[in-house]
Copies of this chain bind each other. A is one copy, B any other.
Amino acid sequence: MRFSLAFLAVIAAFAQPPAQQRLVSPEVHTDRTVTFRFRAPNAQKVEVAREGLTQRLALTKDDQGVWSGTSEAWEPDLYGYSFIVDGVPQMDPLDSKIKPNLLNPQSVVHIPGSSDLPWEIRNVPRGSVHHHFYHSTIIGDDRDFYVYTPPNYDGQAKTPYPVLFLLHGFSDDASGWTAVGRAHVIFDNLIASGKAKPMLVVMPLGYGAPEIVAPNANAFRDPELMRRNYERFRDATLNEVMPAVEKTYNVSKDRTQRAIAGLSMGGAESLFTGLGRLDRFAWVGAFSAGGGAPEYDKTYPNLKSEAGEKLKLLWMACGTEDRLIEPNRKFVDWLKSNDIRHTWVETPGAHTWMVWRRYLAEFAPLLFRTAS
């Protein structure tokens, strides 16, 4: 086939030539430092706030009104960041990588690293991520959930797949664990190396009361609203999402082949839904979750008697720089005092996705092992 230059010339009409050389931001250097650039000719102060760093990176302005600065060398990872422009957080308009969030969307910078890192794409078979939409009669809105299927997923396989329900945190949307957490990449890698069993991962929208993420909701100060949030989330997960998944996919309905885990608010939801319903789940994980209130006896009245027989794994972890470490430790003390078997992991780190990606990579290999 001939590809005429005239045809190309017409196609060229699409292109708007840039008025000036376009700035590049972020620019990741081979030494793992990062240069950020932001044009704001009249701003008085521009800084970069990066996920997991308490200290901001100060930028300086050139005579073209462009603020720039270069970080120290950062560990390979994915980091959310914002420009703080005269005190106001802004996304980087030159960065197409965006961390979706219902209250605080940010830009993302990727420092590439060794292919050993669980979130780096390797030359391995890839699974798929399926986006489903439905009307929730329990919650009363149109909403979505995502399902990861492992590489070479076989809808007709004789042995149905085990399934993990994986929950995002407050202000994330249902895409959080894939778009930010790279859960699909982590599972591809763990499965390819034989570290994790092939499983499906269901990622529902985590709001039982969606009004808690309205801009000025301040819902966490309203116990009745939060009660409804947690209870309706549980009910929609068990009675709407789970049946839809079981109808569409070749997944086990055996409680010993079902896990639930989540981060932050999703960790609290995993404990509430999972530990409260051991007739449906046998494996529970909570990453940087709330926990440890003295009245857990009332929240989980049957846990002490049921756990020994039914709970295959309760895995909890939190970063020592996370302000939720103390409530987590208190909950762990309660578990200990009640002889409820669990794994408790304290790691470096704060309330960040860098921590949660690593937790997922550590937690997933433990699931659905026969020896427990």
Complex contact A4–B295 (CB within 8 A):
yes
Complex contact B131–A13 (CB within 8 A):
no
Complex contact A324–B13 (CB within 8 A):
yes
Known: A15-B218, A142-B121. A8 touches B227 (CB 8 A): yes
Known: A17-B218, A96-B100. A86 touches B11 (CB 8 A): no
Determine whether A363 belongs to the interface, using a CB cutoff of 8 Å to chain B: no
Distance A90 CA – B40 CA, assembled complex (angstroms): 10
Known: A88-B40, A96-B102, A130-B130. A230 touches B3 (CB 8 A): yes
Contacts of A15 in B (CB 8 A): 170, 218-221
Within 8 A of B (CB), among A308-356: 323-324, 327
Residue of A10, A86, A128, A299 with most partner-chain B CB within 10 A? A10
Determine whether A298 belongs to the interface, using a CB cutoff of 8 Å to chain B: yes
Among B123, B295, B323, which residue has its beta carbon within 8 angstroms of that of A13? Answer: B323
Q: How many copies does the complex hold?
A: 2
Complex contact B128–A226 (CB within 8 A):
no
List the B residue with the shortest CB-CB distance to A213.
B96
Determine whether A114 belongs to the interface, using a CB cutoff of 8 Å to chain B: no
Complex contact A4–B216 (CB within 8 A):
no
Size class of the contact patch on chain A: 35 or more
Complex contact B221–A295 (CB within 8 A):
no
Task: Give 8 closest A-B pairs by Cβ, nearest first.
Answer: A15-B220, A6-B293, A4-B295, A6-B295, A126-B133, A129-B131, A12-B220, A2-B298
Contacts of A293 in B (CB 8 A): 4, 6-7, 9-10
Determine whether A210 belongs to the interface, using a CB cutoff of 8 Å to chain B: no
Among B11, B85, B96, B127, which residue has its beta carbon within 8 angstroms of that of A105? Answer: B96
Known: A18-B218, A85-B40, A155-B155. A226 touches B131 (CB 8 A): no
Known: A93-B105, A102-B96, A299-B2. A130 touches B133 (CB 8 A): no
Within 8 A of B (CB), among A60-113: 65, 82, 85-91, 93-96, 98, 100-103, 105
Complex contact A216–B18 (CB within 8 A):
yes
Residue of A9, A102, A155 with most partner-chain B CB within 10 A? A9
Distance A298 CA – B7 CA, assembled complex (angstroms): 9
Q: Separation in Å of the A152 CB from the closest CB of chain B? A: 11
Determine whether A294 belongs to the interface, using a CB cutoff of 8 Å to chain B: yes
9 residue pairs from A and B, CB less than 8 Å apart: A3-B231, A3-B272, A4-B295, A9-B223, A24-B215, A41-B87, A96-B173, A121-B142, A127-B133
Residue of A170, A290, A323 with most partner-chain B CB within 10 A? A290
Distance A227 CA – B8 CA, assembled complex (angstroms): 7
Among B155, B215, B294, B299, which residue has its beta carbon within 8 angstroms of that of A22? Answer: B215
Complex contact A227–B276 (CB within 8 A):
no
Distance A95 CA – B4 CA, assembled complex (angstroms): 44
Contacts of A86 in B (CB 8 A): 40-42, 65
Contacts of A284 in B (CB 8 A): none
Q: Separation in Å of the A166 CB from the closest CB of chain B? A: 16
Distance A96 CA – B104 CA, assembled complex (angstroms): 7
Q: Separation in Å of the A336 CB from the closest CB of chain B? A: 17
Contacts of A3 in B (CB 8 A): 227, 230-231, 272, 299
Complex contact B133–A131 (CB within 8 A):
no
Determine whether A369 belongs to the interface, using a CB cutoff of 8 Å to chain B: no
